[in-house]
Each structure stands twice: as C-alpha cells, then as structure tokens.
Amino acid sequence: MSALGAIALLLGGITRVLDLTAVVIGAMIIFVVFTELKYSALAVYAVTALLAFILPIEKTVAVEYLIFAIYPILKPLFERAGRVFGLAIKLIFMIISSASLVLIFRFVFMMVDLWYIDLIFAIGLVACYFLFDVALTRFKLYYQFKLRHQLKIDRFFH
C-alpha cells in the first residue's frame, strides 16, 4: 500500500494535473482502517510520508499528503468522542490542518502573496475536509455492507 501510494504521489507531482493526489492516496488508507488494522494504517501513512520526502516527489504534494492523509486514521478516534464533542474535535482539527497548510504554502513555498487569497484558500480547505469526512462516512457504510462481501476481502484479514 505504501509503495502504491508513493508511486501515485510521484505521478501526481509529475503531471501537476492531479494536485489532489495526496487526498486520494490518503483515502486509500481507509481500507486498512476499515479492516480494524489501526497500527498498520499508521505504518502505511508513516512509510508513505517518508517515501514522499525521500523520493523526488513534488514537495507540495508530499506536504498535502502529510496533512490530509492522517485524517482517515484519526476519524474513528474523533467519532468515539461522541456526536457533538467529536464534531467539535473534527472541526478544530480541520481548521488547524488547513491553517498550517496555508502557512506552509505561503512561507515555505512562497506561493501566495495576498492575505485574502490565503483566507479563501483556508475556508475552501475546511469545506473540502468536511466533504471528505462525509464521503468517508458514506464510503465506510458502502464498504461494510456491500463491497467487502462482493470482493471477499474478509478472508484476507482473519
């Protein structure tokens, strides 16, 4: 899974068309999380992040992966905190992650000069995080009740 993620990040950095490759690869981690292998999901995340910074991958894509791909691993932990408190934790995490990505892009990669563009970008990132959360929840239900049985994945994890 880590090798596949690193190759996809490399292709995403080369083509510059797939700028959201990091989010897609982060979403792939959810398969490991769904099979209740949380430490394995953390290992896949860590190894892929390490490969993203060692290999000649576009560093903006590597930073996007580093910030976005941890969310599918942390999502079940946030949801255990309860509906209201879990939503508050998710929102705080989304805001902090989005703000850190904006700050990294502004001060490390020197990408944006205007403060209102940074603000619009940060708000857009929080909205994307929220949509990502909803999509992960819906996909989890689809995976648990249909896809897992159709693909006969159960036999690989027992």
pLDDT in tens, 15-58: 766 566 777 777 788 878 877 677 888 998 999 889 888 887 78
What does the pLDDT look like over 97-151, one tens digit per residue? 988 988 888 888 777 677 777 888 889 888 988 998 998 889 888 888 887 778 7
The pTM of the full predicted model, rounded to 2 decimals, is 0.80
Contacts of residue 51, defined as CB under 8 A and 6 or more positions apart, other chains included, come to 2, 3, 5, 6, 9, 57
124 closest CA partner among 82, 95, 88: 95
- Secondary structure percentages of the chain, helix, strand, coil, to 5: 80, 0, 20
Q: Which pLDDT score, from 0 to 100, does residue 33 have?
A: 82
pLDDT over 60 at 74, yes or no = yes
How far are the Cα atoms of 114, 149, 150 from residue 143, in angstroms, in the given order? 42, 8, 9
Q: Which pLDDT score, from 0 to 100, does residue 154 have?
A: 63
Q: Which pLDDT score, from 0 to 100, does residue 64 have?
A: 83
Residues 104, 68: contact at Cβ < 8 Å?
A: no
Q: Which pLDDT score, from 0 to 100, does residue 84 have?
A: 93
Distance separating alpha carbons of residues 71 and 8, to the nearest angstrom = 18
Q: Which pLDDT score, from 0 to 100, does residue 16 have?
A: 65
